[in-house]
Structure 1
Amino acid sequence: MGKAEIRVPAGDGAVFAAPTLIGHYVRDHGYCPPAVFISGLLAFRRGTADLAEGWFTDSPTR
Structure 2
Amino acid sequence: MSDGSYDRFFFACHKPAGSLVIAAEPRLHLWTGEALAAIAIEVGLFGWLMDRTR
The two structures have a TM-score, normalised by structure 2, of 0.27
| Structure with the greater alpha carbon radius of gyration | 2
